[in-house]
Amino acid sequence: MARIIRVLCVLVLAGLAAFYFVTAPKSVEAELFRDLQSNADNGALVFHAAGCASCHAAPKAEAVDHPILTGGQTFPSDFGTFVAPNISPDPTHGIGGWTLIEFANAIQKGVSPDGAHYYPAFPYTAYAHMTPQDVADLKAFMDRLPASDTPSQPHQVGFPFNIRRTLGGWKFLFASDDWVVTSVDTPELDRGRYLVEALAHCGECHTPRNALGGLQKNAWLTGAFLPGEGKVPGIAPSELDWSVEDLAYYLETGFTPDFDSAGGAMTHVVENMARLPETDRAAIAAYIKALP
């Protein structure tokens, strides 16, 4: 009997050690960010492509070149309601006191400066594909935005989803450094993949999720259902037969080939895409049309 108890104790300790290792917050490679010279002008393009203001500007705020990232917008889900935080340069209530590495850990690893996991309502699994240079440029641009002293509001998430440490297990299951489209054969498709899968994180809304909230990448961009938004249409070729020119024009203007217009959250996406170079919109369209 004593031997059985000892074996059980060993198994429990081993399980706790494995849980601790798997769920521990991870960090970016600091060496990748060393000696980077940031470019705030490129950071502005990264900012708009990533749609930062769409979620972090105050509710119903109008689109402007230099928004105030006060936060406060709410995003309902099956796991609770998430509230966008203040990410303005305010040193107390925003992220003005963050170093570049702390900023990179937040947007690429989903880890706060104090080592807590962020919820994947923040699309860090997509931003993980960003280049270190774009991360540095994005921070340089955001550091120049107006500050807001509005405190961030807590998420409305109950047990057991309010146990942050378990999010390390979610990342272990669903966060990956792999691209969905593993090979591209032209610079335009490479740029399109970077914009769709990383910066613009299109899959976060247009791809269905499993019961744990992980993206079903075998159904990439085939449509989904979002609480608060309803049915989000598929944009893969199997779901949408628009031409490359139709897609690029829609991203610039919000008008469809059927003389309809973008609505809901997509209006913010179009506002962001319209600020990008024409070549970027064409690259996004080419990538989507090249999907199997």
Question: What region, left, alpha or beta, does residue 271 occupy, with left being phi > 0 and alpha being psi -120 to 50 degrees?
Answer: alpha
In angstroms, the CA 54 to CA 73 distance is: 9
- The confidence score (pLDDT) of residue 66 equals 86
The predicted model gives 102-124 an average pLDDT of 96
Q: Which residues, at least 6 apart from 159, have a Cβ–Cβ distance to it below 8 Å?
A: none
What is the pLDDT averaged over residues 166-183?
93
What is the C-alpha to C-alpha distance for residues 290 and 192, in angstroms, rounded to an integer? 10
Query: 82: pLDDT confidence band, cut at 50, 70 and 90?
Result: very high
Judged by DSSP in three states, 232 sits in strand
pLDDT at 229: 79
Q: How many residues does the chain have?
A: 292
Smallest Cα–Cα separation from 48: which of 36, 38, 40?
40
- Cα–Cα distances in angstroms (integers) from residue 143 to residues 98, 158, 167, 270, 291, in the given order: 10, 33, 29, 24, 37
Both structure tokens of 104:
């990179």
pLDDT band at 237; cut points 50, 70, 90? very high
pTM exceeding the 0.85 threshold for the entire prediction: yes
At 11, the pLDDT band (50, 70, 90 cuts) reads low
Query: What is the C-alpha separation between 156 and 176, in angstroms, rounded?
Result: 27
Q: How far apart are CA 108 and CA 105, in angstroms?
A: 5
Mean pLDDT, to the nearest integer, of 249-275? Answer: 92
Beta-bridge partner residues of 75:
82
Question: Backbone dihedral region of 131: left (phi > 0), alpha (psi from -120 to 50 degrees) or beta?
Answer: beta
Query: How does the average pLDDT of the chain come out, rounded?
Result: 91
